[in-house]
Chains A and B, each alone.
Chain A
Amino acid sequence: MTAIDSRLVTPVALVTQPVTGVLLIFNRDINHGFFAARHLWLIIAIVFYAIIIYMSYIVSRPRVRRMISLLEAGDGQGEEFTRLDATSKMLGPIFGLLTTAIVILMIWKPGSGCGVQIC
């Protein structure tokens, strides 16, 4: 999981998506009137993205690393591990829901006036 996180998820989530996202905003001239109501779909999606990044790197990542160190120390049945495991299981569906919401917002673009068209 840590290998997937460091070699796949992190480079894509922290480099590819923000860079291409910002470039697409300028390419489509969305930077003009960025905070207008018609761009609300994009602003909400960016907020959801920021929440995912925060929860992933500030909340989830340290816990997963702690779980790995507990397992390596042979303490995979203790109270702390069980508590951390419960948090990880709770965060998974939240990430899934937020990601789904971002996908829907980015495709449907509700309130943009252009539907699913690129505009």
Chain B
Amino acid sequence: MFASFVYNDTWFALLLVLHVSGAIIGLGPSFAFSIIGPAIGKQEAPAASLALMKVMEKIERGLVLPILIVVQLTTGILLIFNRHLDAGFFHSNRAWLLAGIGVYIVAMVISMGVNVPAMGKLIHMAENGQAGTPEFGKLVKVTQSLGPVLTVLALAIMVLMIWKPGGGCGPLIRC
């Protein structure tokens, strides 16, 4: 069964559609967050800031993380086996893939370990009238500084996955 899966073009097309769609849906909002994030502190009404934070958290928890964790991880692993990249996985011509996975792990740790909990705490504090406190301001700065970092990491993943530097096959898919 596994032998028929390797280099199977129907599976490859299906997995690639899911993987690229996942990248668009999962990474896309991080670019929008770089606009929404700075807008939070510029709102005149605290309710408007709270609404923006809730939108960001809902998109992150309900769309971005499930896709990046479930869809991208599953289709990514299946694509590795479908393209038989598991053979010589740690070879230098797979450095683009290893670097891409490494950047993905860093982005996930930052997002799940710091950004999402900070956003949840900010919402909780804003709902309890602690929006002006120094701790609130510190958390806002943390989330605002992480936004561009996550955007750069998302861009790095896309460049690595498309360009495949050092892969010896350029942006061609089959190599």
Contact = CB atoms under 8 A, between A and B. Distances in A.
A and B: real partners? yes
B173 A117 contact: yes
Contact of B20 (A8, A107, A117, A118): A107
Interface residues of A, number: 14
A118 B174 CA distance: 9
Contacts of A107: 13, 16-17, 20
Contact of A117 (B17, B24, B39, B174): B174
A57 B88 CA distance: 49
Contacts of B36: 3-4
Nearest to B19: A107
B1 interface: no
A34 interface: no
B35 A8 contact: yes
A118 B13 contact: no
Interface string B133-173: 00000000000000000000000000000000000000111
A9 to B, nearest CB: 9
Contact of A104 (B17, B32, B172): B17
